[in-house]
Amino acid sequence: MVAMSKIATGNGHGENSPYFDGWKAYETNPFHPTERPEGVIQMGLAENQLCFNLIKNWLIKHPEASLCTPQGVNKFKETALFQDYHGMPEFRQAVAKFMGKVRGDRVKFDPDRIVMSGGATGAHEMVAFCLADPGEAFLVPTPYYPGFDRDLKWRTGVELVPVNCESCNNFKITRNALEAAYVKVQEANLRVKGLLITNPSNPLGTVLDRDTLKSMVRFINDKNIHLIGDEIYASTVFMEPEFVSISEIIEEEDVECNRDLIHIVYSLSKDMGFPGFRVGIVYSYNDSVVSCARKMSSFGLVSSQTQHLIASMLSDDEFVDNFITESKELLFNRHKYFTWSLSQVGIGCLKGNAGLFIWMDLRKLLKEETFAAEMELWRVITNEVKLNVSPGSSFHCQEPGWFRVCFANMDDYTMKVALLRIRTFMLKNNEAMVPLKLCRPSSLKLSLSRSLSRRMDDFMSPGIMSPHSPLPQSPLVRART
């Protein structure tokens, strides 16, 4: 056999993680309401599918935004030809403006600091290449997104060192935890180059408060290390407290900070629901990082056709304002419906107000408080309950028994099938409850039959309605209107 590189033959991608194993189980036997009603339901994909009707309606009204329509074909040639890797000016301007709107227009972003990449994956790797050499380290509070082990480590050779956070204080990031991790890295003779935070948090579905953000800025300033703020879920905050960006913190008078140390990773994959468009953004306050990242961006540019469409869409202020409001409302309703349903079968969750997932607490179902017991429970959920949920250990959680469950990547019917499966599973652990039977759909139509609707009405509290039924507005949306 011809020898291959260490990167090619190594396990740096992390594909053997349970996080990816659950995806394989789904891909082998994906749920379909009629063709595979016993298939695995995908609850491991953090994807926002609740707003596509809003996008569809805008596209119908603006066919000129697509180059593949009679109305847009006149711009095909100029868009299809070579584009500077700085990105189209109108694209950068539209994205910068959208980033400001998502943050309540409390801060403005400079289009000249917008560097595009192939999704947040490419953006994170780009930042790692700019800031660290192989063998140097970034601190990352736990639990954190499993893909970081691939995105930041695999090809760059940098190390990620967990900052252990605990459930006893709702996984709050403390200065003591940061200092302990910093000392641990130094004892291992590694150089710390930065702190990576995710705000809103994946997988917790929570936001960092202003005091915690200030504490982290003081920490990185004292240590003279970089701060990378992953803010790709910024517009998914559907309840108070509001999202506070690191870009707001460094503007405050009582915060002393070297801005050359501050960098933001953003994308449209979560906030707009466009993961397939691969629109990633690096926004740095460091001129040298902007310059270097822009050169590196040639390895993962956003297609000019996508830039043209995104620029057109995000330049429509009325659409953007409506989209942000409606998206929050839909996420609020779905989250409320989902978490209440889980509570009725004795499942608790970390209190969250953001993201496309919940952090589900199944510690009481473990045979023992070990990660081996967590994996045993995860295999039952995957192979018998037929749900792809992600075990906390794959997120480097230090306490066994937590699972991330995504709720926004499916239609109403699939969600209710998943909830019924969870209920049936819990009944095996509580014989006092009576399981409900599912009435399967007779066609590909995903609307609920009257029979199933009645069954679900019995299952749900009278006070909790369908995610698309009229509900009191979320406190955050209500405060803005």
Task: Please give the Cα distance from 464 to 302 (Å, whole number).
Answer: 41
Are 119 and 269 in contact by the 8 Å Cβ rule? The answer is yes
Task: Please give the Cα distance from 381 to 387 (Å, whole number).
Answer: 6
Residue type, 24: K
- For residue 428, the SS3 value is coil
Are 198 and 291 in contact by the 8 Å Cβ rule? The answer is no
133, burial (CB in 10 Å: exposed 0-12, middle 13-18, buried 19+):
exposed
Residue type, 34: T
Find where tokens 């690191």 sit. Answer: 246
Task: Please give the Cα distance from 352 to 358 (Å, whole number).
Answer: 7
Task: Please give the Cα distance from 440 to 49 (Å, whole number).
Answer: 22
Span between the terminal Cα atoms of the chain, in Å: 65
Pairing of strands 279-284, 262-267: antiparallel
Closest CA to 121 of 148, 103, 94: 148
Q: Which of 21, 149, 151, 230 is catalytic?
A: 230
471, burial (CB in 10 Å: exposed 0-12, middle 13-18, buried 19+):
middle
390, burial (CB in 10 Å: exposed 0-12, middle 13-18, buried 19+):
buried
Residue 246 among the catalytic residues: no
Residue 270 among the catalytic residues: yes
Closest CA to 152 of 168, 171, 172, 130: 130
Burial 56-79 (b: 16+ CB within 10 A, else e): eebeeebeebbbeeeebeeeeeeb
Q: Which of 270, 328, 336, 386 is catalytic?
A: 270
Q: Cβ–Cβ contacts within 10 Å for residue 405, how many?
A: 25
Q: Which of 41, 173, 197, 232 is catalytic?
A: 232
Task: Please give the Cα distance from 142 to 207 (Å, whole number).
Answer: 14
And the tokens for 33? 């309401």
Task: Please give the Cα distance from 5 to 27 (Å, whole number).
Answer: 29
CA torsion sign for 378, 43, 147, 161 is negative
Residue 310 among the catalytic residues: no
Q: Which of 19, 26, 144, 145 is catalytic?
A: 145
Residue 411 among the catalytic residues: no
Task: Please give the Cα distance from 243 to 207 (Å, whole number).
Answer: 6
- Just list the catalytic residues: 145, 230, 232, 270
